Structure formats: structure tokens, C-alpha cells
Chains A and B, each alone.
Chain A
Amino acid sequence: MSAEASGPDAVGGLPQLTGEEISRYSRHLLLAEVGLTGQRKLKAASVLVVGTGGLGAPLALYLAAAGVGRIGLVDFDFVEASNLQRQIIHGTKDIDRPKVSSAQDRLKGLNPDIEVVPHNLRLSGKNAEKLFAKYDIIADGTDNYPTRYLVNDVCVFLKKPNVYASIFQFEGQATIFGAPGGPCYRCLYPSPPPPGLVPSCGEGGVMGVLPGILGSIQAAEVIKLIVGGAETLVGRLLLFDAWAMRFNELTIERDPDCPVCGQNPTITEPIDYEDFCGLGEKTQEAAEPIAAGQLKDRLDKGDRLQVIDIREPHERTLYPFPGAKVVPFGQLVRRMEEFNPENDLVFICKIGQRSLFAIRALARAGYRGRMLNLQDGLAAWAKLIGGPEVPY
């Protein structure tokens, strides 16, 4: 390391490292690119990790290990057994604890020298600006669109870099939004998808190690932003396919017409989008509900109706519905002519959500027969008939 970097006043205002810190971070200090100055910058830095799930877990762990001085954690959720396949910051003993508390314990256990601030709340347009203002860098590890757009917009308003990743099944994306001169999320995707148009709801399968890889990439980018001098992902969208084990890189640019960071922005304050996976009123109107009990009565009576199972093959294997016609969601419109408009169609899926989107898609495509939605899906059906629960 250079004499300049190790001098007490090498960089004004940066905190000194203690003797213990010097041994803890020795592998950083040995890197010319990080060195004592870089480590002191890390100690002085503050990062807000939004979401302590699959992405937030490795992200927060590596930031803590690296000695980021203050790490904020935002989440409102509680640890569940099904989280542990990928959210490695939490343990089995933490089930039912608030995620931010479990994560805080783990981070403090890893590195007692840093400050960890739990924010056990739901991020919203009302609290986001105040919260983000307290941190240098925001790292977005959210799993849903409303929060993603909120994080993006608030980062643009406050001019904070937004270190981003998102995942779907085996695929991930990562980049840095909101950096000077670089694009924001809306430059790439100006507005969120309407419900039902991107199959992200109710198909929540994800390879556990995928967010581990993407969250680690986010941690690397955060650390590089703090230390400085590195080539970051600003202006590049990194795509990762874990199944094919392939990385791809795309060039992304600032859009002068961007609704939030463009020349004439139309979005100037935070927006609380509706839950994209929730039931919009419109969707509810389009679909006529049928309760599990009613469906059972009609099937027992031998009524003229056809049950359409729109789930994916792996789901049907786990919980079959005998007698249903199988038409996966993605083939519905193409195979519309197979349905007899004289019969009532009852659409089924796991929780009655995708089936609503199915009805909506068919209505939009011009199907005129009567379409019913099994309310609360096969979860409700399983409860009614008293057998095993839907196991996925």
C-alpha cells in the first residue's frame, strides 16, 4: 500500500481503522485497488438493502463482511421455512421471526464492528424518501414491481445510485441504475406490466443459488461504487442464465424521454402502484367466481361444465385434478376453439389467481362462453375435500 493511503489524513474526514479492523480486513488492504483508503471509505459508507430475501441475504452478508460501516435493512416479512432454500441469511431457528431481526443478528454475528439498522416496515411512497435520504447507496433486492418502481423513482429524485438485480426461475438481471449519466429502470422499462401479462405471479419457483449469485454481484458493485476507480455495471445490463450457465451483457442507455429521469419528467413524486399480482377490480368483474363447494356439487350432479386446468405440468404432477381438461396458461388463446361455449368452463389453478388472468385473456381474445373462476383455487378445493394440502 502506498504511503499516501496509509497516512492519517490521507482522505479528509474518513474514519481511522482500529488494529482489529486492520487484521480483519487485511485481504482488502493488500489489494492496491482497495487499500487503507478504500477500507476507510467502506467504513464511512452507508448502504440500504431493500428486502432481506434471496438477493438481500448474500448482499447484506458480503457488505457486512466487507466492513460497510452502516447497513440498513428494509423488510416487513417474517422468516418462513420455504425461504431457507435461498435466503441464507436466515436459519431454521429464525422461522417466524421478523426477517430484519434475524438478518441483523446474523450480520452482527459476522461483524460486530459495523452498525446494522433494521427497518421493519413496508416501503411506500410515504416513507421511502425519508428513509433513502439517510443512506449513500440503495441496493434493490425486491421481488415485486411496485417496490422496484418506487425504489427506482425515489433514487432518481434523491440522486442515489440504485444497485439492482432481479430474478425469475433460472434467470437474473443486474445493473446499476440512477448513477450520474446512466439510465434508470424506467429508461429500460418505462411502466410496469399490467396484471397477468408477465407470468411472475403464482409461479414463484426459483433456483436457490440464483439469487445467491445475483446478490453477490450486487455486493461487488456496491463495494466498487464505494471504493471507486473500478469499472462498474453502469450502462450495462448483465443477464445471467443459471440453467445454461451463461452470462450476457447488453448496452443500456439513458432515455431522454424517460418519464422520471428524462428531459421533461412526468413522474415527480413517488407512486404507490397497486399490487400487480393482486386482484384489480376490473379483473374481478370479468370473472364469475365459483366456490369449491359449488363446484363439487355441480360435478357430483353431473352438470354441463368443463374444468380447465391451466397449471404447468410439474404442478399437475404434484397435485392432480382428475377429469380436468389440461390447457397450460400459455396455450389458452391458441386452443380457444377446443372449448364448447355451450358448457360452463371452470378455470382452476393453485390459488385462483392465474385462472383469473386466464379468463381475462380469453375474454380479450373474444371467447363468448360462460367462464367461472374457482375461488381461492385448488388450495380451497383441497381444504373442502379434506385430503392432503396442495404440496407446493
Chain B
Amino acid sequence: MPIALKIPTALRGFTDGLSQVELEGTTVGELLKNLTEKYPDLTTHLYDEAGALRSFVNVFVDGSNVKSLKGQETELKPGQTVMLVPAIAGGGPLAPETRGWAEVPAGTETGRFGG
């Protein structure tokens, strides 16, 4: 029986825009393997070179992080919902050179405009 896997917006570009895919899998690892076989572009976003799950992606089964269960070995039962929850950031300026907050001197404009 297939398991429902929720895909967050940030990763939907790799799953043909789908927000949920139904896949077979008796463990989390197996489910994710089936996912990356179906959508190979996701592979580098989910796994590092050593084959471990990336540090900026978490997998939750029915609201619990698999890190506190049995990780990739966590068993899945029909009817459970698996959710990929990556780190997200956005809503900021588009130009990359204006992102990131490196050290620069404070502007002098505050005094002019400020309270």
C-alpha cells in the first residue's frame, strides 16, 4: 500500500510541481530511494556524497522527526504521512550581492532620518 509523501514548495521544482507523491516503501530509506529513482534531480538535494541525508533536510513521519525514531530504518505503516521539511529562506532581495550580512560600517543616514 502506498505511502503519502508531502513535498514542500522548495523541492517541487524537482517533482514536476507535485505537492504530494504516493510511493511504496516499508522504511523511510526505501521510500526515499523510490522517490529519488522516480525524480533523480532530487538526489543531490536529499543526500550528500556519502549517501547520508543532507543536514538541511528533515524527514517527519506523522509529525515526528525520524532522527528521534530509527532514522532511515524507521518502519512505515500504510496510512502514515511522510513529510520532507527542508530549511527555507526567502522573501529577501533578489540580487545575491545584497544578501548575506557581512561586516560593513554602519550607515550615517540613521542620524539624518532617525527619530
Q: Which residues of A contact B (CB under 8 A)?
A: 53-55, 76-78, 80, 86, 97-98, 100-102, 104-105, 108, 116, 118-124, 126-127, 142-148, 150, 166-173, 188-193, 197-204, 206, 210-211, 237, 239, 241, 243-244, 248-253, 255, 272-279, 312, 328-334, 350-351, 353, 361, 364
* Chain B residues, Cβ within 8 Å of A202: 94, 96
Task: Tell whether, in the assembled complex, residue B101 and residue A167 are in contact, meaning their CB atoms are under 8 Å apart.
Answer: no
Additional 11 contacts, C-beta under 8 A, given A101-B114, A250-B64: A118-B110, A143-B99, A145-B89, A189-B55, A189-B87, A197-B45, A197-B54, A210-B91, A237-B85, A275-B102, A333-B41
The answer for the CA separation of A277 and B101 in the assembled complex, in Å, is: 11
Task: Tell whether, in the assembled complex, residue B106 and residue A121 are in contact, meaning their CB atoms are under 8 Å apart.
Answer: yes
Partner of A193, one of B39, B56, B102, B110: B56
* Chain A residues, Cβ within 8 Å of B14: 330
Task: Tell whether, in the assembled complex, residue A334 and residue B102 are in contact, meaning their CB atoms are under 8 Å apart.
Answer: no
* Chain B residues, Cβ within 8 Å of A364: 44
Task: Tell whether, in the assembled complex, residue A272 and residue B65 are in contact, meaning their CB atoms are under 8 Å apart.
Answer: no
Task: Tell whether, in the assembled complex, residue A146 and residue B97 are in contact, meaning their CB atoms are under 8 Å apart.
Answer: no
Which B residues between 1 and 57 are near A, CB-CB below 8 angstroms? 8-10, 13-14, 19, 39-41, 44-45, 54-56
Chain B interface size band reads 35 or more
* Chain B residues, Cβ within 8 Å of A248: 63, 83
How many A-B residue contacts, CB cutoff 8 Å?
A: 211
Q: How far is the CB of B105 from chain A (nearest CB, A)?
A: 8
Task: Tell whether, in the assembled complex, residue A145 and residue B87 are in contact, meaning their CB atoms are under 8 Å apart.
Answer: yes
Q: How far is the CB of A374 from chain B (nearest CB, A)?
A: 15
Partner of B100, one of A78, A97, A146, A171: A146
The answer for the CA separation of A350 and B102 in the assembled complex, in Å, is: 24
Contact indicator per residue, chain B 58-69, by CB within 8 Å of chain A (1) or not (0): 101001110110
Considering the complex, give the chain A residue whose CB is closest to the CB of B68.
A253
Task: Tell whether, in the assembled complex, residue B101 and residue A200 are in contact, meaning their CB atoms are under 8 Å apart.
Answer: no
Task: Tell whether, in the assembled complex, residue B109 and residue A198 are in contact, meaning their CB atoms are under 8 Å apart.
Answer: no
Task: Tell whether, in the assembled complex, residue B41 and residue A330 are in contact, meaning their CB atoms are under 8 Å apart.
Answer: yes
Q: How far is the CB of A71 from chain B (nearest CB, A)?
A: 12
List 28 A–B pairs whose Cβ atoms lie within 8 Å, in order of A's numbering.
Answer: A53-B91, A98-B110, A100-B110, A100-B114, A116-B115, A118-B115, A124-B103, A142-B101, A144-B100, A148-B89, A166-B88, A169-B10, A172-B88, A197-B45, A198-B56, A200-B88, A201-B96, A202-B94, A249-B63, A251-B64, A274-B100, A275-B97, A277-B100, A330-B41, A332-B41, A334-B40, A351-B94, A353-B96
Pick the 7 closest A-B CB pairs, nearest first: A275-B100, A143-B92, A330-B13, A101-B113, A168-B88, A277-B96, A168-B90
Instruction: Identify whether the interface residues of B are mostly helix, strand, loop, or mixed.
Output: loop
Name the residue among B8, B65, B100 with the largest chain A CB count within 10 angstroms. B100
The answer for the CA separation of A97 and B109 in the assembled complex, in Å, is: 8
* Chain B residues, Cβ within 8 Å of A100: 110, 114
Q: Which residues of B contact A (CB under 8 A)?
A: 8-10, 13-14, 19, 39-41, 44-45, 54-56, 58, 60, 63-65, 67-68, 83, 85-104, 106-107, 109-110, 112-115
Considering the complex, give the chain A residue whose CB is closest to the CB of B67.
A255
Task: Tell whether, in the assembled complex, residue A198 and residue B87 are in contact, meaning their CB atoms are under 8 Å apart.
Answer: yes
Q: How far is the CB of B58 from chain A (nearest CB, A)?
A: 6
The answer for the CA separation of A303 and B107 in the assembled complex, in Å, is: 48
Task: Tell whether, in the assembled complex, residue B110 and residue A101 are in contact, meaning their CB atoms are under 8 Å apart.
Answer: yes
Task: Tell whether, in the assembled complex, residue A275 and residue B56 are in contact, meaning their CB atoms are under 8 Å apart.
Answer: no
Task: Tell whether, in the assembled complex, residue A98 and residue B93 are in contact, meaning their CB atoms are under 8 Å apart.
Answer: no
Partner of A76, one of B13, B65, B91, B107: B107
Considering the complex, give the chain B residue whose CB is closest to the CB of A361.
B44
Q: How far is the CB of B94 from chain A (nearest CB, A)?
A: 5
Task: Tell whether, in the assembled complex, residue A168 and residue B89 are in contact, meaning their CB atoms are under 8 Å apart.
Answer: yes
Task: Tell whether, in the assembled complex, residue B109 and residue A328 are in contact, meaning their CB atoms are under 8 Å apart.
Answer: no
Considering the complex, give the chain B residue whose CB is closest to the CB of A172.
B88
Considering the complex, give the chain B residue whose CB is closest to the CB of A335.
B41
The answer for the CA separation of A190 and B65 in the assembled complex, in Å, is: 14
Q: How far is the CB of A204 from chain B (nearest CB, A)?
A: 5
Considering the complex, give the chain B residue whose CB is closest to the CB of A333.
B41
Q: How far is the CB of A90 from chain B (nearest CB, A)?
A: 12
The answer for the CA separation of A351 and B93 in the assembled complex, in Å, is: 13
Q: How far is the CB of A58 from chain B (nearest CB, A)?
A: 13
Q: How far is the CB of A254 from chain B (nearest CB, A)?
A: 10
* Chain B residues, Cβ within 8 Å of A124: 101-103
